[in-house]
Structures are given as C-alpha cells and as structure tokens.
Amino acid sequence: MANTTTIISMTLAAAMLSTAASAEFALDARYTDADGDMIADIPTDASELTDPDTLIFAYTPVEDPSVYAAAWADFLTHMEEATGKTVQFFPVQSNAAQIEAMRAGRLHIAGFNTGSNPLAVACAGFRPFAMMAAADGSFGYEMEIITHPGSGIEEVADLAGSQLAFTSETSNSGFKAPSALLSSEFGLVAGTDFEPVFSGAHDASILGVANMDYPAAAIANSVKARMLDRDVVSEDQLTVIYTSQTFPTTGYGTAHNLTPELQETIREAFFSFEWEGTTLEEEFSKSGEAQFIPITFAEDWAVIRQIDEANGVSYACQ
C-alpha cells in the first residue's frame, strides 16, 4: 500500500485512503465528539434529531442479502415490539451503499463489518454499541488465506507470481488485514509480487476458490463456517494456508441523530433479545454466536485502526 492512493467510491460519502505519515482517526466535520469516546455525539439541538415511524435496519453485505432477510426476521419482530415502530430489513449490496445510506439519513440501525466500522463512524455518524459473541462471552473471527487442492499453493510464499482474491477495500479480513500482514510478514506486495482481484464479497471469494475460479483468497473464517454448515461448500474443496490473530466481528449500532430515548430503546432491544429457538440463532450459531455483548469503538476497534495505520490509511469524507 505504500506510495499509493486508493479511492473508495461512494455517491455522497467518498472516503479517500491516503498515505499519511501518521494516520489519525477523526470524525467528519459535520459531527462532534465532546466526550472523547471517538464516536459522534447525539445532537443537543432538538431540530437535528429524528424519531421515524419506520426504522430501517441493514446487515453488512458479507454474503447474499436474501440469506439474512430471513435470518434477522425474529430479531426485527423483537425490535418492533420494543420500539413500537415498524422495522424494515434493507438488503444493501455493498459497504459503500450501506455507509452512504446512513450518512444520508436513510438507515437507522445497522451492523457494519469489522473493516468498514471506522469509515461508518467517521463519515456516517455511526454509533456502535454491540457485537455478537459466544455463550461464554468469547468473540471474534480470524482472517484466513485459503486455496484449493491442486492449486500448487502450499504456503504463503507460493502466492508470489499468483493471483489473490480480496473482497472489497473496506473489508478488514477481505483486504486491509491481509494487505498489511502479507507485506510486513512475508514481503509480498499486491500488484508487485502477486495479482490482486476483487470478488465483492466473502461468499463470492470462498465459492470462487472452491470452484477453482481463484487460486487463493483472503476471507473471514466466520463466513466460511456458516457456508460449510449450509453445505454451500465442503471442507475438501478448501485448504487454509494462513490464519491471523482474532479480530472483532460486525459492530451493531445506530445513526447518531436518532432521539436519545429511541437510541436507548434500540440498545436495550439488542441486549434483551432471547436467542434460543430464533431464526438468528439458527443462522449465527453456525459460527458460534449466541448473544449480543456491549462494546466500545475506542477499545474494541483499536486493532483495526492500527491495521489501517499500518496500511497508511486515513479517512477524508466528501
């Protein structure tokens, strides 16, 4: 990533990844952070607050959105009961579209993936407060570099001269973490030592490797676990050649300008949701999740901001 400038395209909120000497996280000028918690403050001017009759919820587009409309059904019913409002699932197609929707006021509650969380916080006023975890409170996933049997790639060094599929530039495990780790640990730089391609999503990368369309890919192993459980792919189609440290998972939260009372009600709905026997448990138990736990952006996303800094990333919203 050194000596490069990459543009993440968004219609209303363009984020520029620049090679700043010291990448320091900062909110867009439209937001304030008087309490120093690194997320946008709730406006104190009542005219800037919103209390919509219909709440729009979107889950990060790591896989086919149609899979998750059904998975979130019971949770959204619970949210309707808690808030007294209609709650609609919004099937976003990209991280950029999801961030743009919240920045424009069309998205009220969301789960932003690990890598796009800092961008959503900085550019869209996202206020994350929850994350999925196992029953014992443990949480997180690992970035894996996978290949298929017969690819000729048996270790990371074999990626030299080959092709590696990333997902999107806002993804932690699908781009940011592998870019930093491959460069720092193995001296492999995208575009110089291997050919980077972008699949658009983790399921597309995993399917691409399983079907031998890509020789290798960087993916989140939580997505792989759910696909294996649904028999979308099988273990014998994939070989893991690298596993990273554990990263935080998707962060859930609200738009900054919902009324304080509504934000608190939404927060309580996450933590009062009973998973047992629900469509959410049916889907996310496949990757070990069983509850929502509280998080803070300042603490739990520190490692992700460090990865951004290692990649020379700073965010400027336009």
CATH of the domain at 220: 3.40.190.10
The answer to whether residue 1 sits within a structural domain is no
Q: How many CB atoms lie within 10 A of CB 7?
A: 11
Residues 16, 22, 23, 24: what is their CA dihedral angle, to the nearest 10 degrees?
Answer: -130
- Is residue 76 predicted with pLDDT exceeding 70? yes
Is 316 a member of any domain? no
Q: Two tokens at 270?
A: 């996450």
Number of domains in the chain: 2
Higher pLDDT, 89 or 5: 89
Residues 15 and 126 both lie in one domain: yes
Residue 123 placed within a domain: yes
Q: Is 182 found in the same domain as 88?
A: no
Domain that holds residue 101: 6-137+249-310
Does residue 116 fall inside a structural domain?
Answer: yes
- When mean pLDDT is compared across 51-65, 71-85, 156-170, 301-315, the lowest value belongs to 301-315
Considering 198, 222, 247, which residue would you say is the last residue of a domain?
Answer: 247
On whether both 179 and 169 belong to a single domain, the answer is yes
Rounded mean pLDDT of 140-159?
97
Q: What is the pLDDT of residues 214-254, one digit of tens each?
A: 999 999 999 999 999 999 999 999 999 999 989 999 999 99
pLDDT in tens, 277-293: 999 999 999 999 999 99
End position of a domain, from candidates 202, 228, 247: 247
Q: What's the rounded Cα separation, in Å, for the pair 119 and 301?
A: 12
**Does residue 253 share a domain with residue 155?**
no
Q: How far apart are the first and last CA of the chain?
A: 22
For the four alpha carbons of 55, 59, 65 and 68, in that order, the dihedral sign comes to: negative
Of residues 303 and 74, more confidence is placed in 74
Q: Is the pLDDT of residue 65 over 80?
A: no
Please report the pLDDT score of residue 15 as a whole number: 32
Per-residue pLDDT band at 318 (split at 50, 70, 90): low
Q: Indicate if 158 and 198 belong to the same structural domain.
A: yes
Could you tell me if 81 and 103 lie in one domain? yes
- pLDDT (tens digit per residue) in 157-209: 999 999 999 999 889 999 999 999 999 899 999 999 999 999 999 999 999 99
187 and 225 belong to one structural domain: yes
**Mean pLDDT confidence for 140-168:** 97
Structural contact between residues 205 and 215, judged by C-beta atoms closer than 8 angstroms = no
Q: How far is CA 21 from the centre of its chain?
A: 25
Say whether both 176 and 300 belong to one domain: no
Is 260 part of any domain?
yes
172, 270: one domain: no
Q: What six digits make up the tokens of 127?
A: 């206020």
- More confident position, 5 or 222: 222
Q: Distance (Å, rounded) from C-alpha 122 to C-alpha 304?
A: 14
Tell me, yes or no, whether 277 lies in a domain. Answer: yes
| CA–CA gap between residue 301 and residue 223 (Å, rounded) | 20
Say which amino acid occupies 265. T
The predicted structure's pLDDT at residue 6 = 25
Question: Could you tell me if residue 318 is inside a domain?
Answer: no
- Supply the pLDDT for residue 62: 72
Q: Which two tokens stand for residue 140?
A: 């997180």
- Establish if 71 belongs to a structural domain: yes
Domain identity same for 12 and 122: yes
Question: Would you say residue 312 has pLDDT above 90?
Answer: no
Alpha carbons within 13 A on the beta-carbon side of 118: 30
Strands 216-220 and 109-112: unpaired
Identify the helix (H) or strand (E) that includes residue 246: strand 239-247
* Residue ending a domain, choose from 210, 227, 247: 247
